């Protein structure tokens, strides 16, 4: 059993060993060996890009099912705001929330409510000027993991506040205990998730020992039953309690706009996020207080577990926000303290470094440069590594050999053939 939990998994039966995922993975966490893709667990950030690109649907995201809620005496659904963008002609989020109750949940609590609290807490912390600027949002778990394994100097710029899901789960759990008198373990809190990164975050959190969420159900998994339920409502309960600020978190720029200042930047799409992080690391981005980063294009509406095109969902979200009050949720006196991270974000130096002994690492790198110089530099992926440089690295790590390169192999065979021909 690996020490890393991942939502993103490979369905080996469907994998045909092509190079689509290999080339797309932003952390070079995939190799193809013996005709099947393999995810390098320690490098995977669960961004879901491989799920998006795989033409054979061989990559999947593990998430909870509606069945699982039956194991609890009382359940609360905490939907991501992206869920509200998945339905045509929706004029109130109350319809979705009532629909969730029809599916068997006893109560609902929108994550967008907690998002408003996180926004307020962030504004407060920026005003108090205690954090290292620019502050990087901690809401997207794929981005937080990326920083943890690739950007050592930026770990302390990450906002030390729990993401809205965790804040929502904790409030929902506390309220359910107060309301029912049940014990915490009898209460099931389930997140309705747009992406696998958030499933991973619940099972293996970055900043706390244990999440208050019991599981995450994919939007796409719950969608057919939910639309059915929504179509047959006799009464719509006034359950929603989010302002336009919280709902806006569903799309890129929503969190940044909730800072109510103009010194912010919002980037979305994993490649763009990496570019911003590289420039931040080199101090090329100046004069910005807050940075919102979303691994998915368009923000959470772009999550790979949604059903709707992200831009259609974005337009619907804009429409839903139109007549809402700005914010309906505000911090209690000591609430901010309870939202702070319990564990610090430490750089995981082991993931990409060649060896913990620098002399050994240098020796390996010298070999790597030599091997790389002899490779064709086509980055074709036929060897099973995403680039020639990655193959060179795998070779010095003892995980691949030079003849995995088909050009090297061809040259070797030609060589053998020529020698044989001369001897005959």
Interacting residues with other proteins (CB under 8 A): 150, 152-153, 278, 281-284, 347, 349, 352-356, 358-359, 361-362, 365-366, 369, 393
Q: In whole angstroms, how far apart are CA 41 and each of 3, 30, 38, 215, 384?
A: 9, 9, 9, 21, 16
Q: Which residue, 307 or 361, has its beta carbon nearer to other proteins?
A: 361
Q: Which residue, 284 or 421, has its beta carbon nearer to other proteins?
A: 284
Q: Are strands 215-218 and 187-193 parallel, antiparallel or unpaired?
A: parallel
Note the Cα 71 to chain centre separation in Å: 27
**Helices 141-150 & 196-203, crossing angle to 10 degrees?**
70
What's the rounded Cα separation, in Å, for the pair 227 and 87? 8
Cβ-count burial of 108 within 10 angstroms (0-12 exposed, 13-18 middle, 19+ buried)?
Answer: buried
E strand map for 113-211: 135-136, 187-193
Residues with Cβ within 8 Å of residue 26, at least 6 apart in sequence: 45, 47, 49, 146, 270, 271, 274
Least CB distance from residue 150 to other proteins, whole Å?
7
Residues facing 218 on adjacent strands: 193
Q: Which residue, 117 or 147, has its beta carbon nearer to other proteins?
A: 147
Least CB distance from residue 358 to other proteins, whole Å?
5
**Cβ atoms within 10 A of the Cβ of 284, count?**
9
What's the rounded Cα separation, in Å, for the pair 149 and 147? 6
Cβ-count burial of 190 within 10 angstroms (0-12 exposed, 13-18 middle, 19+ buried)?
Answer: buried
Least CB distance from residue 31 to other proteins, whole Å?
17
Q: Which residue, 116 or 393, has its beta carbon nearer to other proteins?
A: 393
Least CB distance from residue 89 to other proteins, whole Å?
45
Q: Which residue, 341 or 347, has its beta carbon nearer to other proteins?
A: 347
Q: Which residue, 53 or 285, has its beta carbon nearer to other proteins?
A: 285
Least CB distance from residue 367 to other proteins, whole Å?
11
- Alpha helix (H) residue ranges in 129-163: 141-150
What's the DSSP call for residue 26? Answer: T
Least CB distance from residue 352 to other proteins, whole Å?
6
Q: Which residue, 309 or 366, has its beta carbon nearer to other proteins?
A: 366
Least CB distance from residue 377 to other proteins, whole Å?
14
E strand map for 319-407: none
Q: Which residue, 70 or 263, has its beta carbon nearer to other proteins?
A: 263
Q: In whole angstroms, how far apart are CA 262 and each of 288, 293, 313?
A: 9, 16, 25
Give exposure, 358-388, as e/b (b: 16+ Cβ within 10 Å).
Answer: eeeeeebeeebeebbeebeeebebbbbbbbb
Q: Which residue, 355 or 404, has its beta carbon nearer to other proteins?
A: 355
Least CB distance from residue 398 to other proteins, whole Å?
16
Least CB distance from residue 375 to other proteins, whole Å?
16
Residue located via tokens 């086509």: 378
Least CB distance from residue 20 to other proteins, whole Å?
24
**Cβ atoms within 10 A of the Cβ of 327, count?**
19
């Amino acid at each position: 059993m690996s020490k890393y939990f991942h939502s993103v998994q490979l369905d080996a039966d469907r994998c045909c060993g092509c190079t689509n995922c290999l080339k797309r993975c932003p952390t070079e966490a995939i190799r193809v060996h013996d005709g099947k893709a393999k995810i390098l667990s320690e490098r995977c950030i669960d961004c879901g890009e491989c799920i998006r690109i795989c033409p054979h649907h061989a990559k999947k995201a593990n998430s909870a099912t509606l069945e699982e809620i039956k194991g609890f005496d009382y359940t609360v659904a905490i939907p991501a705001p992206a869920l509200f963008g998945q339905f045509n002609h929706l004029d109130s989020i109350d319809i979705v929330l009532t629909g969730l109750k029809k599916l068997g949940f006893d109560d609902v609590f929108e994550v967008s409510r907690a998002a408003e609290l996180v926004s307020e807490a962030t504004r407060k912390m920026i005003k108090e000027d205690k954090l290292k600027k620019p502050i990087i949002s901690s809401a997207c778990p794929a981005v937080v993991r990326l920083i943890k394994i690739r950007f050592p100097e930026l770990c302390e710029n990450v906002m030390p506040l729990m993401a809205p899901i965790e804040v929502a789960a904790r409030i929902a759990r506390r309220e359910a205990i107060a309301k029912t008198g049940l014990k915490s373990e009898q209460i099931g809190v389930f997140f309705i998730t747009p992406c696998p990164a958030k499933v991973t975050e619940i099972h293996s959190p970055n900043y706390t020992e244990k999440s208050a969420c019991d599981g995450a159900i994919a939007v796409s998994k719950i969608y057919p039953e939910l639309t059915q339920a929504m179509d047959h409502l006799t009464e719509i309960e006034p359950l929603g309690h989010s302002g336009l600020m919280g709902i806006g978190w569903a799309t890129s720029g929503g969190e940044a706009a909730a800072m109510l200042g103009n010194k912010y930047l919002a980037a979305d799409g994993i490649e763009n996020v990496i570019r911003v992080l590289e420039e931040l690391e080199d101090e090329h981005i100046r004069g910005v207080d807050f940075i919102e980063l979303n691994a998915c294009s368009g923000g959470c509406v772009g999550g790979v577990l949604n059903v709707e095109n992200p831009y259609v969902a974005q337009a619907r979200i804009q429409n839903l926000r139109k007549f809402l009050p700005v914010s309906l949720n505000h911090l209690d006196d000591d609430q901010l303290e309870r939202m702070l991270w319990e564990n610090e974000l430490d750089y995981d130096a082991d993931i990409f470094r060649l060896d913990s002994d620098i002399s050994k690492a240098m020796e390996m790198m010298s070999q790597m440069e030599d091997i790389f110089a002899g490779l064709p530099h086509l980055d074709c992926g036929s060897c099973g590594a995403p680039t020639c440089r990655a193959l060179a690295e795998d070779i010095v790590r003892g995980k691949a050999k030079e003849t995995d390169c088909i050009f090297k192999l061809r040259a070797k065979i030609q060589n053998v053939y020529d020698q044989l021909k001369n001897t005959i």
